Amino acid sequence: MKTIGLIGGMSWESTMTYYQIINTAVKETLGGLHSGKILLNSIDFYEIEKHQSKGEWEACASIMINAAKALETAGADFIVICTNTMHKVVPQIQEAISIPILHIAEAVSQVLKQNHITKAALLGTKYTMTQTFYIDKLKEAGLEILVPESNDIEIINRVIFEELCLGIVSDHSKKEYLRIISQLEEMGAQGVILGCTEIGLMIGQADTSLPVFDTAKIHAQEAARFACNS
């Protein structure tokens, strides 16, 4: 079994989801008392968000590179970044290490294609929804991506940083998210990508008739498969 190097803490609430799903998937795959071989480098999200909000992505990259190098030195066979937004700096991280990074958007693309989804709604941080680093990966897989209008992008982003990343799940915010999902469905979305690893704490398949693709779950399951297929 390969050793998984997790870069977590962004936020730590969703990192717990990764740990649980990876170990569950490994046990289901290998049986018995098997669990995942996992190294976790949990970084201070305050430092990351401070640089994100100022557009200081090179500073973000430096933090992530140090985390990835530490995991490689400790014996990780590959890296899993437990957040969507910080995949923006994957090229810089990959240049600094010799082990592979399991890209979240590539894992999500595979699952959407398996489910015959060609047009999907994307919810996430404003960086994920408005910049090209994530959407381009999905488009490369042949997917058409729909994002909310600008006012709704701000609502989604605020709820992520001011509520979900703090472990707060609000009924009002959930209704707003479902309203936005419904609008995107009317625009032709065949499924919705929860493109922030915290959104799954609030929105699940039971909340909407539109197929829901939780990126944290998909990414963690792919990490377990990759580790077990060594």
Give the residue numbers marked as catalytic: 83, 196
Which segments of the chain does DSSP mark as H helices, in order?
12-30, 45-53, 57-74, 90-96, 104-114, 126-130, 132-140, 150-162, 171-186, 215-228
Indicate the DSSP class of residue 170. Answer: -
Contact assessment for residue 156 and residue 192, using Cβ atoms and an 8 Å cutoff: no
DSSP 89-125: GHHHHHHH-SS-B--HHHHHHHHHHHTT--EEEEE--
Side-chain half-sphere CA neighbours of 21 within 13 A: 20
**Which residues does 52 contact at the CB level (< 8 Å), separation at least 6?**
60, 85, 127
